[in-house]
Amino acid sequence: MKSLEGTDPVYIQIADWLENEILSGQVKPQEKIYSQYKLSDIFGINPATALKGLNRLVEKGLVYKKRGLGMFVSDDALEILKKERRDYGMQTQIRNLVEEANRLDVSKEMLIKMIEEAMEKK
């Protein structure tokens, strides 16, 4: 059984985990994803909680339901996730980074150099 860690509600952690599976290429477009019952077994949670996480992905357009067959990853799920994380996730992280740099008296030039160095190491 996998464990979930974090302060977010469990259904959000399930949705985030599935989003990361899509982003990493572990789950590809048109591929069937885990059912609510399989997710409840994997994580030891209530099936209704797992379904709430799956429905979050449906609302975002990342997965769609095929009646009687299950849920499948949409063709544009990867692009939707990348855009969402660039537009919201990275902007939030950048704002936090800039605020911390200002508190530590890190100049713009030094911060840019640090980012460039980090990107070279990837």
Query: Distance (Å, rounded) from C-alpha 45 to C-alpha 36?
Result: 10
- Express each pLDDT in 81-121 by its tens digit: 999 988 888 889 999 999 999 999 999 999 999 999 999 98
The continuous run of DSSP H or E covering 3 comes out as none
Per-residue model confidence (pLDDT) at position 122? 67
pTM to 2 decimals? 0.77
- Express each pLDDT in 14-58 by its tens digit: 999 999 999 999 999 999 999 999 999 999 999 999 999 999 999
* Residue 24 · residue 32 · CB < 8 Å: no
Per-residue model confidence (pLDDT) at position 63? 97
Query: What is the CA 10 to chain-centroid distance, rounded?
Result: 13
